[in-house]
Amino acid sequence: MGDSFLPELVILLPARDEEIGVSEVIDRIPTERIQEMGYSPRVVVVDGHSSDSTCEVAKGLGAEVIEQNGSIGKGNGVREALEIIYSTEHEEDDLLIMLDADATYSPEDLPRFIEELQNHDVVWGSRLRGKIEKNAMSSTNKIGNKVLSLVASIVFLRKTTDLCTGYWGFKSRVIKKLGLTARGFALEADLFGSVVKSKFRTKEIPIDYAHREGESTLKWYLDGPRILTMTFKKRLFR
């Protein structure tokens, strides 16, 4: 925790069996720069039933750990974490930025998100507009993401080039208003649809994407259809 008089920046790291990645991500958070920008960083790892030492590593580096109680799934974990984080009152200027704990996203981009959140309610990062490290994203996943992003852009009449991005920034007062329902990797489609339907001020920015630490649990043949289903569900219902 930083200066209690500063607005709070919650850095939310969803994780499951990420003992290597979570260490790198936390170590690379530009804490001093964040404080210079006027925010007190609070690192929160939401652990989705890890079987390795993810929790111990995160706690050893000073992070707050929320151990997921409900069913396995990124969406379940994030929704559970948000309920705990915002169970008490927060300041108007508080922010929350979420990125995966597998070291694919650059913590060094956190100040860019903070800057954009001064004039926008929600900011997400597009890997397709940035630099993707060799072999960081398979051709199948890249094509699938482009298709899903195009569909979402048409369905919601709001352009996104990376529907499946895991790098999101929110004003805290905004994220508390989102009615999220996703259980797993459809979380990002749930976020995009909720944000657009709520008519918040949004911006997409280019980000870089690196080769992940550890094995991915995402399966395109299962999660792709779930993401597509969530996109239409979010458009038709609340």
Q: What's phi and psi for 180, nearest 5 deg?
A: -80, 145
1 belongs to a structural domain: no
In a domain, 3, yes or no: no
Question: How distant, in Å, are the alpha carbons of 10, 17, 108, 149 from that of 170?
Answer: 10, 26, 17, 20
Cα–Cα distance between 15 and 65 in angstroms, integer?
Answer: 10
**R_g of the chain computed on alpha carbons:** 16
Nearest-angstrom CA–CA distance, 42 and 118: 19
Domain hosting residue 137, numbered range: 8-236
Residue 2 in any domain: the answer is: no
User: Is the separation of the CB atoms in 75 and 179 below 8 Å?
Assistant: no
Q: Spell out the per-residue pLDDT of the chain, length 238, in tens.
A: 445 689 999 999 999 999 999 999 999 999 999 999 999 999 999 999 999 999 999 999 999 999 999 888 999 999 999 999 998 888 889 999 999 999 999 999 999 999 999 999 999 999 999 999 998 998 988 999 999 999 999 999 999 999 999 999 999 999 988 989 998 889 999 999 999 999 999 999 999 999 876 555 555 666 678 888 889 888 877 6
Q: Look at residue 55 and tell me if it is in a domain.
A: yes
**Per-residue pLDDT, 2:** 47
User: What is d(CA 202, CA 196) in angstroms, rounded to the nearest whole number?
Assistant: 8
Sheet holding 168-171, edge to edge: 64-67, 40-47, 8-15, 95-98, 168-171, 122-126, 202-206
pLDDT score, position 237: 77
Quote the pTM value. 0.92
Question: In which element (H, E) is residue 151 found?
Answer: helix 139-156
Q: Give the domain CATH number at 178.
A: 3.90.550.10
Query: Is residue 43 a part of any domain in this protein?
Result: yes
CA distances from 199 to 35, 154, 155, 192 (A): 30, 16, 15, 11
State how many domains the chain has: 1
224 within domain boundaries: yes
Burial bucket for residue 30 (CB in 10 Å: 0-12, 13-18, 19+): middle
For position 107, what pLDDT does the model report? 98
The verdict on residue 107 lying in a domain is yes
Question: Which residue from 184, 123, 193 is spatially nearest to 151, judged by alpha carbons?
Answer: 193
In a domain, 18, yes or no: yes
Please give the helix or strand (H or E) that residue 96 lies within, else none. strand 95-98
Please give the pLDDT value at position 88.
Answer: 83
| pLDDT value of position 62 | 97
